[in-house]
Amino acid sequence: MMLAAASALADTGQTGVLTYPASFFADAKLNTAYDMIQRLPGFTFDDGKTERGFAGNAGNVVIDGLRPTAKTDDLQSILSRIPASDVDHIDVIRGGVPGIDMHGQTVVADVVRKKSDSTQIVADLEDNFWPDGHSVPNASVDFTQHSGDSTYEASLSRIGNFDDSVGKGFYSVTDMATGTTQRTPVRTTGAGSGWGVTGSASVPLYGGQFKANLTYQDTPFHSVNIYTAPGSGWTIGDNNGQQNGELGLHWIGKVGPSTELESLVLQRIGRQTDINISTAVGADQYFASKTKTGESIVRTTVRYSPNANLTLESGAEGAYNFLNGTSSYLLNGTPVPLPSANANVNEKRGEAFVHATWKFAPDWLLEAGARAEYSTISESGYTNMSRSFFFPKPRLLLTWTPNKNTQFRLRYERVIGQLDFTNFVASSNLSASGVNAGNPDLKPDRHMQYEASYEYDFWGKGAFVATLLHEDITDVVDYVPVTGPSGMFDAPGNIKSGHLNQVDTELTLPLDKVGLLNGLLKVTNIWRFDKVRDPVTGEPRAIYNERPQDVELTLTQDIESLNSTWSIFYFNCWDQYYYRLTEFRHRRVIPPYVELSWEYKPTPAWSIQAAVRNALPFTYDDTFYEYGGPRDSASLAQINNLKIKSQPRLYIQIRKTFG
């Protein structure tokens, strides 16, 4: 099985695998497998995607050599439920190794759990407190039992959601014709509480291992913007509710001395409701939408390893997806027709793939493969149409590992985006983007990716990784103007080709040599340089919603004598641009986000953490440049600006492990 292959490779000192035993993390006294992942040198966690299908949505962590058969239950949540005391070691597989399914990633961490019989129950209580008096608590109880080759897990949780940018500020409107500015005080709120339940069982079956997992989540959210203009005022409220359920079935085992078979079935079902209300004199707006979604996936993979240096893999995946959506929009009580206000969308998709991993020399490894995807998307409601797509998706990855501490990687891959079914139906965000039409003419965007990476590991806990990525993008998904019965609206659509250049550096630096015992600094810096032609003006500009730079810095120190760990987290926040037919929007958060944290473990079974999050309260700055008509021909009419000063919050967590 895959787990045995991963462990054996690590034991034989393969240069593509770095093994971190539980003792590597002992000084930190960590609580969960996710905490351990965060301490891996030069490793940046990827939670995966939630798009339709299974193959292209994997994160970069597997558990016991296997990817979780789950999408609703995200990878971070799954890892956070695994106690650190349950982890035997973590293998970091760089560039690929024969016998290991990398799921399209270039680096994968494998969390290998202990095999001894055990039962653990973990109770977790946490709360977030804001200076204005409101709080958002969370709680969970997690159960894990190992018995021989069987594992049973269950979790019940209260899910608290919140908007961390809520606070007080001003909304200003500047009339460009007169030069006058009217400023209105505003207060924002946003929170919600729901619940979730998960359960899974992994047992030996027919000479292999069978796992079944079940998840249900109910996560409502309510937000309000309150504007208090002199002599008048208005509010914008949003009530959103989501219910999602998921069932996953997974079997993997040997069907011959050199052949492994893996099969899975995944069924998801969901429902979302959204009521968006704006009350203002002469401009009352009401938008309501309801969507039902479903996804069914069947996937089978066969792996054949004729020798230790070569693995051949082939298989197929079939999926059926649907969305049934209805929406309505009223302005001052009068219905306003919207393009694609109601739509029923379904997709039938099949994919076949072949893949080979070949260690053709002691220091060299080649991974080559191709996937071929065929899909048909049909829509009824506002329009009746059906479209079919065929996309070949080749992939090449060449890895050179001259020694265990150094690795070079070159990757070429064709990646196909997935259409968001919700873009087929009209939507609304009255406090920001307004009302958007749906668009049944969307096509998937296509990315040709060229990537080069260099990794160097040093000082036992240190690592430096640099990655250069170039993407040529065809049919970029952005916003385009569409015409409906009541006029012209913005809607998701395809624009001309664009490109993206990205530079990513990751540094993990142990600080013992500079006098900070058990200190560790992790720095991530990502620069993005992208360009596309604006569909309205024809001028080059940034790709919609792309952030030009992300900087994260985490400084930690484990103080063994105090059974404690302190940390400082820094994030440069973000800066984003949005382009519409008659509007340009610039949204940003300033200054940087800072978090201060202290965790105390009086005994191995108890953990108490206190943190000041958003310690230097940021300002949410949202500016709209409104034109009198299309941006290519009309002049700037007014500038609307929303500035909200957020609040710091106190985070408290108490965690108790039984067993």
pLDDT for 640 beyond 80: yes
Average pLDDT (125-143) is: 95
C-alpha to C-alpha distances, 160 to 30, 135, 191, 434, 438, nearest whole angstrom: 24, 10, 8, 27, 31
Under 8 Å between Cβ of 565 and 28: yes
Q: pLDDT band at 426, cuts 50/70/90?
A: low
Q: What angle do CA 360, 365, 366 make, to 5 degrees?
A: 95
Average pLDDT (168-191) is: 94
Under 8 Å between Cβ of 380 and 407: no
Under 8 Å between Cβ of 45 and 76: yes
Residues with Cβ < 8 Å from 391, sequence gap 6 or more? 372, 373, 414, 416, 444, 446
**Residue of 101, 16, 100, 9 whose CA lies nearest to 362:** 16
Average pLDDT (222-227) is: 92
- For residue range 490-505, what is the model confidence (pLDDT) as tens digits? 778 888 899 999 999 9
Return the exposure string of 316-353: e unless at least 16 CB atoms fall within 10 Å of the residue's CB, then b: ebebebbbbbbbbbeeeeeebebbbbbbbbbbebebeb
Could you tell me the residue ranges of all domains in the chain?
1-114
Return the exposure string of 478-500: e unless at least 16 CB atoms fall within 10 Å of the residue's CB, then b: bbbbbebeeeebbbbbbbeebbb
Mean per-residue pLDDT over the chain, rounded: 89
Under 8 Å between Cβ of 440 and 425: no
- For residue range 248-270, what is the model confidence (pLDDT) as tens digits? 999 999 998 889 999 999 999 99
Average pLDDT (307-324) is: 93
Give, as one character, the DSSP assignment of residue 32: B
Query: What percent of the chain has pLDDT above 70?
Result: 93
- Both tokens assigned to 51: 């798009």
Distance separating alpha carbons of residues 290 and 278, to the nearest angstrom? 18
Helix (H) or strand (E) holding 79: helix 75-80
- Both tokens assigned to 200: 């899974």
What pTM value is reported for the model?
Answer: 0.87
First to last CA, the chain: 30
- Selected from 1.20.1250.20, 3.40.50.10470, 3.10.180.10, 2.170.130.10, the CATH number assigned to the domain covering 1-114 reads 2.170.130.10
